[in-house]
Amino acid sequence: MTTYEPVIGLEIHAELQTKSKMFCGCSAAYSEAPAANTLICPVCTALPGAMPVVNQKAVEQAILVGLALNCTINPMNQFARKNYFYPDLPKGYQISQYDLPVASNGWLNILAGTDPQRIRVRRAHLEEDTAKLFHHDRHTLVDYNRAGVPLLEIVSEPDMHTVEAALDYATRIRAILRYLGVNSGDMEKGVLRFEANVSVRPTGSSELLTRTEIKNLNSFRALTRATAFEIQRQTQIYQSGAEVVQETLGWNDLKEMTISQRSKEEAHDYRYFPEPDLPPLEINRAWVEQIKSELPELPEMREQRLIMQFGLTVNEARLLTSDKALADYYEKTVSLSKSPVKTISNWITGEFLRYVNDMGLDLEHLPFPPEHLAQLVDLVTAKAINDNTAKEVLAGMFKTGQSPETIVKANNLGQISDQDALELVVAQVLNDNPKEVASYLAGKQTVFQWMMGQVARLTRGKADPQVARKLLLQALEKARISK
């Protein structure tokens, strides 16, 4: 039987984190609105006569993303009207960009499984978000707070051939947007939405067969499930000798299947034409250069640097740079700690991230600063506490936000490696157990372990074993001589 390989392209809709909306002065922070339809004006509710004005900050953020995705920034931009009727679209058209978008012809390096691959980015264009609809039994309510919030649509070429590649591409785009500070990446709030174009073809062929478009994928899980489902569905259609139909699909999260929304014949004719209310937008070189100079270090560059600078493995570096806040936290901890980098990396990629994930914490709002984590690792390195105690202390830090020193002191958890203190303990063990001392001196070596146990008991496990061993041996030798 012929085997098939998938061909996947992604469209990513990212809301931009500007203060105001794309074409009016209303606040874009609709998720914090006090009530429905409170962040609205004549422009974003499309009252007759209202006119759009372009939000410069949104254009800047779009340029920033374009540069991060290695795109050409087009010196001449044009907005266009995309015409269709839907109650979430107040003007009856969406102001978008058509033949002259902000950015085009870029690329992004990803890992397809373990193989590096370059995915081409076709374009990134600015548009406006729609209103939110609330469907009831006999009616639908419309909240225009979201209407007109800036959106950046990032369109890839159909360069991905596995679900994993698509997931990695989407994950990296999300990370880049967060690195740039233009999108929170908060999928639950819907600030990032995916659409996947999927087709399959006989493995090894280079043709492009009929594709379907899956709309409204609002989580990474939905993206991977829907894409996998669609690949399998199309493969089965070809294998049974039938043909795939070009259509737009929706993803049903509950039934875990794609569902036809409209066929090619029913496809919208959007009747694009240049938006006459907005003159062409010129983006001159100086502006682009200015924005370029503000471009922060991006995940891929940072990954390489961390490998070079700290000798991390590829996997560690990827994990640590996957999120800007995590990478920042890591580097800050390294700079504050006197411990070997390797030890710090192990702590962060291990115990630390396990707590973060288990507790579902937001890396930007952790209960304690990098200073505290550096302290903790340094306490271990200095043998002030042992590994097991350190884990307990870390748990306490996540729970209370207190510094490790505070926790250690409060619970009297410090490891005793102090010679004088331990000498007293050893002396006490010898004093209290003359029979056992005699038996040891008579040649019964095994008693030594028992006496070490007594030291541990008296110090409640905090004695540094190496120091205790040395002091106990010394004390017993003294006893042998003075006997």
Partner 1 sequence: MQPHTLSIREAHELLTTKQISSVELTTAVLDHIHKTDPLINAFVTIADELALEQARLADQRLRQSEDITPLTGIPFAVKDCISTRGLRTTCSSKILENYIPPYNATVIDRLSTAGAVLIGKQNMDEFGMGSSCENSAFFDTHNPWDLERVPGGSSGGSAAAVAANMGLFALGEDTGGSIRMPAGFCNVTGLKTTYGRVSRYGLIALVSSFDSIGPMARSAYDCAAVLQSIAGQDLKDATSLPDPIPDYLKMLDKPVKGLRLGIPKEYFQAGMEAGVESSIREAIQKFEELGMEIREVSLPHTTYGLPVYYLVLFAEASANLARFDGTRFGLSVAEGAENVIDQYLQTRREGFGPEVKRRIMLGAYVLSAGYYDAYYLKAQKVRTLLRQDFEAAFEQCDALVAPTCPTTAFKLGEKTDDPLTMYLSDIYVVATNPAGVPSLCVPCGFSNNMPVGMQLIGKHLSEDVLLQIGHAYQSATDWHLKRPAVSK
Residues binding partner 1 (CB under 8 A): 42, 45-54, 81, 83, 85, 87, 90-93, 140, 142, 269, 271-273, 276-279
Q: Which stretch binds Zn ion (CB under 5 A): 39-47, 213-221, 422-430, 446-454?
A: 39-47
283 near Zn ion, judged by CB under 5 A: no
Paired strand residues for 179: none
Angle between helices 163-180 and 220-239 (to 10 degrees): 150
Residue for token digits 């490790």?
A: 404
**CA–CA separation, 301 and 297 (whole Å):** 6
43 near Zn ion, judged by CB under 5 A: yes
Task: Quote the tokens at residue 352.
Answer: 């630390």
Paired strand residues for 151: 15, 127
Shortest Å distance, C-beta 120 to partner 1? 26
Shortest Å distance, C-beta 150 to Zn ion? 12
67 near Zn ion, judged by CB under 5 A: no
Residue 52 binds which entry of Zn ion, partner 1, none, CB below 5-8 Å type-dependent: partner 1
Shortest Å distance, C-beta 43 to Zn ion? 5
Please identify which residue in 29, 33, 41, 111 interacts with Zn ion, judged by CB under 5 A.
41
User: Which residue number, 131 or 377, has a Cβ lying nearer to Zn ion?
Assistant: 131
Shortest Å distance, C-beta 44 to partner 1? 11
Residue 81 binds which entry of partner 1, Zn ion, none, CB below 5-8 Å type-dependent: partner 1
User: Which residue number, 24 or 373, has a Cβ lying nearer to Zn ion?
Assistant: 24
Residue 279 binds which entry of Zn ion, partner 1, none, CB below 5-8 Å type-dependent: partner 1
Residues between 7 and 26 that touch Zn ion (CB under 5 A): 24, 26
Residue 44 binds which entry of partner 1, Zn ion, none, CB below 5-8 Å type-dependent: Zn ion
Shortest Å distance, C-beta 68 to partner 1? 28
**CA–CA separation, 152 and 59 (whole Å):** 9
Please identify which residue in 22, 44, 320, 373 interacts with Zn ion, judged by CB under 5 A.
44
CB-based contacts of 11, cutoff 8 Å, min separation 6: 153, 154, 155, 156, 194, 195, 196, 197
Binding site for Zn ion (CB under 5 A): 24, 26, 41, 43-44
